[in-house]
Amino acid sequence: MFVFVILYYTVWSHGMLIRGGLQYNKLAYSSCSELSRQLDLWLSKADLTHGPARAIIAPHAGYSYCGACAAFAYRQISPVVVKRIFILGPSHHVRLGGCALSFMDKYQTPLYDLTIDKQIYAELEATRQFEWMDVQTDEDEHSIEMHLPYIAKVMEEYKSGFTIIPILVGSLTPEKEAKYGAILAPYLADPQNLVVISSDFCHWGPRFRYTWRDPSRGHIHQSIEWLDRQVIMYTILLNKQDLVWPIGAVGSDAAL
């Protein structure tokens, strides 16, 4: 098998700006059909336990690391009801104090192109709370891009019936979190909208300047698992006040 390296660059096509898939070299599949089969396999092994989901949290690492894990989140989606998919991904390459939108008209995937919802973008822009990514930032960022093949696969039978709303998320103060939450809340309340929250795996070690550990919890992985479960519990309970402490104490990556 040879490594499937896709170097789509942003191009103009029929008056539209289409973002290429520069990060898909992380997928390492020999063809689009092989990637499609692998996604089908992972999804077939994931149980439908909490669907239909209105929002999911899934990782954005290379698929050899997180493909099987992400399938459990994407398995909970009911594509028949979804018309719009909001994709919230953290910014890795630029300092961003708010949230940013894409100039693109479409995002390419190895399966098919995904269309950005310009009407929703216009509504978000009208709030004057959103910046715009430049092309280089858009191309460099993987937190949104790595979710696109899974979205395309899950929505494959309805490919012409939905749009995407990619949003790059920066480091937000509590005040800005509340502001963006208020803006996005009406969209989340619409059952035809799905929210995909792009998350990092835990980056543990000196290289990432994160070595937190609670010795009373056992080994490193046990300590991190305990922390994860605390975050999950506070999230389910909508307890924002207590959710803040693990993020502040050990770093945002640990809580995502």
Q: What is the pLDDT of residues 79-90, one digit of tens each?
A: 999 999 999 999
Predicted confidence (pLDDT) per residue in 5-58, tens digit: 444 455 545 455 666 655 554 555 557 888 899 999 999 999 998 879 999 999
How far is 194 from 52, CA to CA, in rounded Å? 10
Q: Which of 81, 60, 84 is nearest to 70 (CA)?
A: 60
pLDDT above 50: residue 1: no
* Superfamily in which the 11-201 domain is placed by CATH: LigB-like (3.40.830.10)
Q: What is the pLDDT of residue 252?
A: 47
Of 17-26, 184-193, 207-216, the range with the lowest mean pLDDT is 17-26
Q: Where in the chain is the domain with CATH 3.40.830.10?
A: 11-201
Reference 167, options 192, 141, 190; nearest CA is 141
**pLDDT exceeding 90 applies to what percent of the chain?**
50
Model-level pTM greater than 0.85? no
Tokens of 208: 């990432």
Instruction: For residue 16, give both structure tokens.
Output: 């539209």
